[in-house]
Structure 1
Amino acid sequence: MAKEIVLFVLFSVVHLLAIVTITKEDWMYLPSKIIPIFILIFGLFRFFPSLEKRGKLVAIGLVFSVFGDAFLAIPKEGFFVPGLGSFLIAQLLYAYAFTLDSKVKPILAIPFLIFGSSFFIALSPKLGELTIPVGFYISAICLMGWRAAARNSITKPFYLGLLGALVFILSDSIIAYSMFLNRGMDRSIASLGIMITYYLAQVLIYSATKSEELDVQAVKNT
């Protein structure tokens, strides 16, 4: 197992422990949340000049994910939309990365369209002024999932990337469910569910990308 994955897992556990032992107001909360993603960023950016286009897109998507994490960890009102916007850019970058070797395959969009439409309809009475931002974000995560499913290469990286995309959708769905549909949900349980699935999604997308980059480099060196 790569060293960065081991470090990622260890620091992810640290943040999961932070969720149940400290609050967002504690100075350790934000660093503990973003360090795991910084580890993945370093794992790609140290090879940035030699990365293929997909690798660069995923690396930049991870950077925007850190911004999203930071905004959402700030214990004040008014930072949800900037956090949502940062993750929206990350999702679009991931979707573009998945699109590089995929066909349109519109039939594969149907499950994501059904899910996204149904979830938005369920959320819309509770969204108020967030209706448009959340609508755009749901569209982005469904687009990312569709593009991950439509890739041409049915290999290990394909399955890792697709699973990462699906788990990312799950993580964001837990956020929306706990914020808008079940506001009485225990915050620690909700946060644990969100962060476990979020970290898993990011490391799966990272692993898919890293695996493809290693394959490309091996071909170039032969």
Structure 2
Amino acid sequence: MTAMTRSHLLLFLLTACGFMVSIFFKPYPLSWLVKILPILVLLHFSWQNSRGTKERAHKLFMIGLVFSIFGDFFLDYDRVNWFVLGLAAFLVAHLFYIFSLKPLVAKPIISKRLPLIGLYCIYGVGVFLVIYAGLGELFIPVLVYMTILLLMGITTLLSQKANIWLIIGGLSFILSDSFIGLNQFYHQIPYASVWIMVSYYFAQLALVNGMFTQDNNLA
């Protein structure tokens, strides 16, 4: 397996930039379709690289991408009424990403990475403490989602497949969702949608690149 082809990368960048520019013209019809196009490109690349293989991890990862597409649709089509649906779709996506990253490294390596795991947890707790007062009835759903999100990020560190792309992808996903939480439940961030989507699209790109490359393995 190799890193993303130039054609897929170019198409991904064009569609991702297209949606981010279109943010300034929202609302407009079928904006959800424009939003999911970059992830469809990543899904097509993943599918092409999985054909003819029996790699279960790749199939699980692609299911995660599919649920990400559902999450993008729910959050763009009706962010107010379908927020929980979007949250649930991305939660399931992260679970499949976690399953695709199995097996984990041996205990001695896990011990060496405990300081990094601790930093992830401190950051997650810190963000939650900042936003929890504004969560209201979403307290439990957001808590569960943030726990699974952090677990996904930590799993990129502990997977036997661990490489720099997977780790950066996990970090970028955590950052993107932090922007969402802080902007929605604490204080509005200038140009929040741009920061959210830049870090989100980069996260998905990095995770795909990390899943389908054998270079720079850290395990």
Gaps of 5+ in 2: none
SS at match of 1:99: coil
Q: Does 1:178 align with 2:178?
A: no
Distance 1:88 1:153, change over 3 A: closer
Q: Aligned-pair distance for 1:153?
A: 5.3
Distance 1:49 1:134, change over 3 A: farther
Partner of 2:147: 139
Greater relative CO, 1 or 2 (CA 8 Å, sep 6+): 2
1:109-188 equivalent positions in 2, closer than 5 A: 109-152=117-160, 158-183=163-188, 185-186=189-190
SS at match of 2:212: helix
User: Contact 1:71–1:82 (CA<8 Å) still a contact in 2?
Assistant: yes
Given the two structures, how large is their TM-score scaled by the length of structure 2?
A: 0.87
Distance 1:153 1:72, change over 3 A: closer
Q: Distance in 2 between matches of 1:153 and 1:68?
A: 26
Q: Aligned-pair distance for 1:49?
A: 5.2
Q: Deviations over 1:21-41 (max 9, x none)?
A: x213x1141111001101111
Q: Does 1:18 align with 2:39?
A: no
Q: Deviations over 1:92-118 (max 9, x none)?
A: 111222232434626243222222222
SS at match of 2:213: helix
User: Contact 2:64–2:94 (CA<8 Å) still a contact in 1?
Assistant: yes
Q: Does 1:50 align with 2:50?
A: no
Bigger fraction of residues in helix: 1
Partner of 1:3: 7
Given the two structures, how large is their TM-score scaled by the length of structure 1?
A: 0.85
Partner of 2:82: 79
Gaps of 5+ in 1: 216-222
SS at match of 1:39: helix
